Amino acid sequence: MNKKTLATLVGSLLGAAVLASPAHAQNVKIGLLGGISGPIAAMAPSMLDASRLAIAQVNEQGGILNGGKLDVVVGDSACNPQNATDAATKAVNIDRVIATVGPHCSGAVLAAANSVTVPAGVLMVTPSGTSPEITKINDKDLVYRTVPSDDYQGRALARTLKARGIDKVAVAYLNNDYGKGLAESFKAEYEANGGTIAGYSGHEDGKASYRSDLAQLARGGADTLVIFDYGDGTGLTILRQALENNFFKTFIGADGMKSEAVIRSLGEQNLGGFFASAPVGEASASLDAFRAAFSAAGGNPDAIFTTTSYDAAFLVALAIEKAGGDKAKLAESLRAVASAPGEPIMAGEWAKAKQLIAEGKDIDYKGAAGDHEFDAAGDVPGNYAFFKVSGSTYEAIADMK
Partner 1 sequence: MDLLGLANYAVFMAILIGIYALLALGLNIQWGFTGLFNAGIAGFFAIGAYTSAILTSLPAAHRLGGFELPMVLGWVAAMLVAAAIAWPIGKICLRFRSDYLAIATIGIAEIIRLVIRTEGWLTGGVRGITGIPRPFGELPYMQSQLAFLAIVVVLVLLAYMLVERQVNAPWGRMMRAIRDNENAAAAMGKRVADRRLQAFVFGSALMGLAGALFVHFNRSITPEAIDPMIATFLIWIMLILGGSGNNRGAILGAAAIWIIWSVSELLTDRLPTEVAIQAKYARVFIIGLTLQLVLRFRPEGIVPERQAGAASSRR
Residue 32 beta carbon to partner 1: minimum distance, rounded to whole angstroms: 9
Q: Give the residue with the Cβ less far from partner 1, 75 or 370.
A: 75
The C-alpha atoms of residue 234 and residue 174 are separated, in whole angstroms, by: 8
CB of residue 133 to partner 1, shortest distance in Å: 5
Q: Do residues 350 and 286 touch, judged by C-beta distance below 8 A?
A: no
Query: 317 near 337, Cβ under 8 Å?
Result: no
* Integer Cα distance of 345 and 333 in angstroms: 15
CB of residue 374 to partner 1, shortest distance in Å: 20
- d(CA 325, CA 171) in angstroms, rounded, equals 49
Alpha carbon distances (Å) from 246 to 49, 211, 219, 240, 266: 46, 11, 13, 10, 14
Prior bond of 103 cis (ω within 30°): yes
Nearer to partner 1, 75 or 281 (CB): 75
Identity of residue 324? G
* Closer residue to partner 1 in complex, CB, 187/366: 187
Q: Which is nearer to partner 1, 233 or 273 (CB)?
A: 233
Q: How far is the CB of 120 from partner 1 (least distance, A)?
A: 5
Rounded distance, CA 391 to CA 334, Å? 42
Q: 37 φ, ψ to 5°?
A: -100, 165
- Residue closer to partner 1 (CB basis): 108 or 312: 108
Q: In whole angstroms, what is the distance from residue 179 CA to residue 173 CA?
A: 5
Cβ–Cβ under 8 Å, residues 86 and 103: no
Instruction: Specify the residue, 114 or 270, whose C-beta has the smaller distance to partner 1.
Output: 114
Residue 9 Cβ, how far from partner 1 at the closest point, in Å? Answer: 6
* Least distance in angstroms from the C-beta of 23 to partner 1: 16
CB of 297 to partner 1, least distance (A): 13
Instruction: From 235, 226, 287, select the one nearest 259 (Cα to Cα).
Output: 235
Which residues of this chain interact with partner 1, rule CB under 8 A? 5, 9, 12-13, 15-17, 36-39, 45, 48, 52, 72-76, 78-83, 85-87, 89-90, 92-96, 105-108, 110-111, 114-116, 119-121, 131-133, 136-137, 175-177, 180-181, 184
